Amino acid sequence: MERLWRSLKYEEVYLKAYESVAQARRGISAYFEFYNHERLHQALGYRAPQQLLEEVERRADPAATP
């Protein structure tokens, strides 16, 4: 969990100069979308968390594979 907050701060928050709370919320929300769906994680075998979740779900229920 600590790695997530570090990544958020160094890859998003510290690089942006948000002018409002609303702008910060939009930026952080977009970062979480990126972090979970696109950003590759070394600890997950260079897969995104969403990709790993889908693989685990397919293994748990082979009948649900499209």
Please determine, for residue 45, whether its predicted confidence score (pLDDT) is greater than 70: yes
Mean pLDDT of the chain: 91
Are the C-beta atoms of residues 64 and 58 closer than 8 Å to each other? yes
- Per domain, the residue ranges of the chain are 2-64
Are the C-beta atoms of residues 40 and 48 closer than 8 Å to each other? yes
Give the per-residue pLDDT at 65. Answer: 55
For residue 50, name the pLDDT band (cuts at 50, 70, 90). Answer: very high
- Please give the structure tokens belonging to residue 51: 């990709």
Beta carbons within 8 Å of 18's beta carbon, 6+ residues apart: 24, 27
